[in-house]
Amino acid sequence: MTPSAIDLPPKSTIITWEKLPDDFILPDEPVDNNLQPLLAAALRESLELAGLILESMLIASNFGLCATVKTQTVVKAPDWVYIPSVKPIASGEIRRSYTPHLQGEIPAIVLEFISETEGSEYSINPHYPYGKWYFYEQILQVPVYGIFQPKTGELDVYCLVAGKYEQQLPDENNRYWIKELNLFIGIWQGTKAEFTTNWLRWWDKSGNLLLWGSELVEQERQRAEQERQRAEQAELELEQEQISRQCLVQKLKELGVNPENL
């Protein structure tokens, strides 16, 4: 799905990058369901366990991205965002929002998860408070925008081309190459955190799935079990060899042959 038309911001539109005022009240809306935080956490978890998260990066969910358009502060909080490099903050300080250009690079990818009722993920409203699509494409100019519907297992990925989002086609494995992360993203159906549903997962360029912690634990358990079985098999073979040798010695003695003379 792609919005059929979109109004580009007039050249006279002034977009500035200002720090969110300390007294600005961020929306405190609850998430649509208890699956959304798990989807976001799962995306980060596998990146972290694969050693792909650096201190200079910012990965967050439901986190305010800010811009000032025509002197009005605009904040959108994507369900998941990856920013390759941000400026460090003082020790003990907590980020409550992020302003691209002012506080670091623009987001490389934003993801939105659609719940039962579709929200403004596809909205191209060019007027305040602006639709999410319009905000990411025309104001922030985020290179990659993904929209995921967990219920149906549908993932649409759009890349910014000449100032507009173009829908991408998946590869033969139904995955999308995200060059900003040097990874594929795609759908995986299975169980995590007691939810059996469609999940977004990462694969490396060789097609290897980036594992979650529980999967790494299970992988190690299976490795240890295989090692235990190999050790038991080796011990059993040694015992059988010793028994065979003892039987041979006994037979030689019965034949009047001293085994030590052989």
CATH topology of domain 15-210: tt1808, chain A (3.90.1570)
* The predicted structure's pLDDT at residue 24: 85
* The predicted structure's pLDDT at residue 9: 58
258 pLDDT band (50/70/90 cuts)? confident
Q: Which residue has the tokens 């989002």?
A: 165
139 pLDDT band (50/70/90 cuts)? very high
Residue that wins the pLDDT comparison between 89 and 183: 183
Tokens of 165: 């989002």
Instruction: Name the residue among 67, 74, 77, 86 with its Cα closest to residue 16.
Output: 67
Range with the largest mean pLDDT of 113-127, 178-192, 212-226, 239-253: 178-192
**Which pTM was predicted?**
0.84
Give the C-alpha separation, 189 to 201, whole Å: 10
- Domain spans of the chain? 15-210, 218-261
Lowest mean pLDDT among 29-43, 99-113, 185-199, 244-258: 244-258
Residue 127 burial (CB count, 10 A): 10
* The predicted structure's pLDDT at residue 4: 52
247: left (phi > 0), else alpha (psi -120 to 50), else beta? alpha
3-state secondary structure 138-190: HHHCCCEEEEEECCCCEEEEEEEECCEEEECCCCCCCEEEECCCCEEEEEEEE
pLDDT at 110 exceeding the cut of 60: yes
> Mean pLDDT, the chain, as a whole number?
90
* The predicted structure's pLDDT at residue 234: 83
Bridge-based pairing state of the strands 109-113 and 144-149? parallel
